[in-house]
């Protein structure tokens, strides 16, 4: 049954993407001349991505602390990375940001094309020149008034455990004097682990937006210290949520 349900889900993703991309293209064509931030297109993309968690009865998704991402301000947003589903649930924030994502995804028909229209930022892992281009694009994006969304672990966790953080997001925050907002994703690894496309039954999924690390704190630390500090904030919240769940059972 899981295989059949998963096949139906991914078929829905493919077919709906084929139908929704022309709408995204039309929004882009109508708004690009005066909407440099691609705000309208990103808002539609949030709707597009959210459809898949809204319509799947197996996922109960909750978003906490959305108000901490204040409209009109820019942030470096960082989250733990558990699953492909992380991207879908993060769209439920409905806040203005640009993804930093691996370059291969930009080649996916419809989905990747829409990412390019949105001015999301590609990255080739392990390629120093690509990393430099990514950092430059992030600085430009922040300068335009849009936040950046990054997974500092670099890739999905195989076990669900929090991995070490790479320093790029925190170097960016210090260089651009931008506040960092940590986010904690929970439940997506159980719903869809790495190295697989078979969905696993009913699961509660949550995104928790933690209080921002303000600019004065960002500036007071080295990149190494800031990286460790933010990772500890996320790790502490994960542990707290796990204890709460254990106590409920």
pLDDT digits (tens, 9 = 90+) for 53-112: 999 988 999 999 999 999 999 999 999 999 989 999 999 999 999 999 999 999 999 999
Angle value at C-alpha 182, between 179 and 187, nearest 5 degrees: 160
Q: Which residues contact 91 (CB under 8 A, 6 or more apart)?
A: 45, 46, 48, 49, 50
Average pLDDT of the residues of the chain: 93
pLDDT digits (tens, 9 = 90+) for 136-174: 999 999 999 999 999 999 887 777 789 999 999 999 999
**In this structure, are strands 121-123 and 203-209 parallel, antiparallel, or unpaired?**
unpaired
Give the tokens for residue 55.
């319509």
**DSSP sequence for the chain:** -HHHHHHHHHHHHHHHHHHHHHHHHHHHHHHTTT-TT-HHHHHHHHHHHHHHHHS-TTEEEEEE-GGGS-TT---EEEE----THHHHHHGGG---EEEEEEGGGGGSTTHHHHHHHTT-EEE-TT-HHHHHHHHHHHHHHHHHT-EEEE-TTSS--SSSS--PPPSHHHHHHHHHT--EEEEEEESHHHHS-SS-----S-EEEEEEEPPPB-HHHHHHS-HHHHHHHHHHHHHHHHHHHHHHHHHH-
Number of domains in the chain: 1
Give the tokens for residue 84.
């492909």
Question: Which pTM does this prediction carry?
Answer: 0.93
Dist. CA 2–CA 243, nearest whole Å: 29
pLDDT digits (tens, 9 = 90+) for 183-218: 999 999 888 877 777 888 788 999 999 999 999 999
Dist. CA 39–CA 31, nearest whole Å: 9
The residue ranking higher by pLDDT, 245 or 110, is 110
Q: How confident is the model at residue 127 (pLDDT cuts 50, 70, 90)?
A: confident
What is the domain-level CATH number for residue 28? Answer: 3.40.1130
Phi, psi of 113 (to 5 degrees): -60, -40
Enclosing domain of residue 165: 2-248
């Amino acid at each position: 049954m899981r295989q059949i349900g998963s096949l139906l889900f991914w078929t829905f993703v493919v077919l709906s993407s084929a139908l929704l991309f022309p709408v995204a293209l039309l929004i882009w064509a109508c708004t690009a001349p005066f909407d440099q931030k691609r705000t309208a297109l990103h808002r539609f993309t949030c709707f597009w991505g959210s459809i898949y968690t809204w319509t799947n009865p197996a996922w109960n998704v909750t978003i906490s602390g959305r108000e901490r991402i204040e409209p009109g301000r820019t942030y470096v947003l960082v989250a733990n990375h558990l699953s492909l589903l992380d991207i879908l649930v993060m769209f439920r924030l409905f806040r203005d940001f640009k993804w930093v994502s691996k370059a291969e995804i930009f080649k996916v028909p419809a989905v990747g094309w829409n990412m390019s229209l949105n001015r999301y930022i590609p990255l080739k892992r392990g390629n120093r020149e690509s990393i430099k281009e990514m950092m430059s694009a992030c600085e430009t994006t922040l300068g335009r008034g849009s936040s950046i969304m990054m997974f500092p672990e670099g890739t999905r966790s195989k076990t669900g455990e929090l991995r070490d953080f790479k320093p790029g997001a925190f170097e960016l925050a210090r260089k651009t004097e931008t506040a960092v907002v940590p986010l904690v994703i929970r439940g997506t690894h159980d719903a869809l682990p790495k190295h697989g496309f078979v969905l696993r039954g009913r699961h509660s999924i949550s995104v928790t937006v933690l209080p921002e690390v303000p600019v004065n704190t960002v500036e007071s630390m080295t990149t190494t210290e800031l990286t460790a500090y933010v990772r500890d904030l996320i790790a502490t919240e994960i542990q707290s949520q796990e204890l709460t769940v254990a106590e409920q059972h």
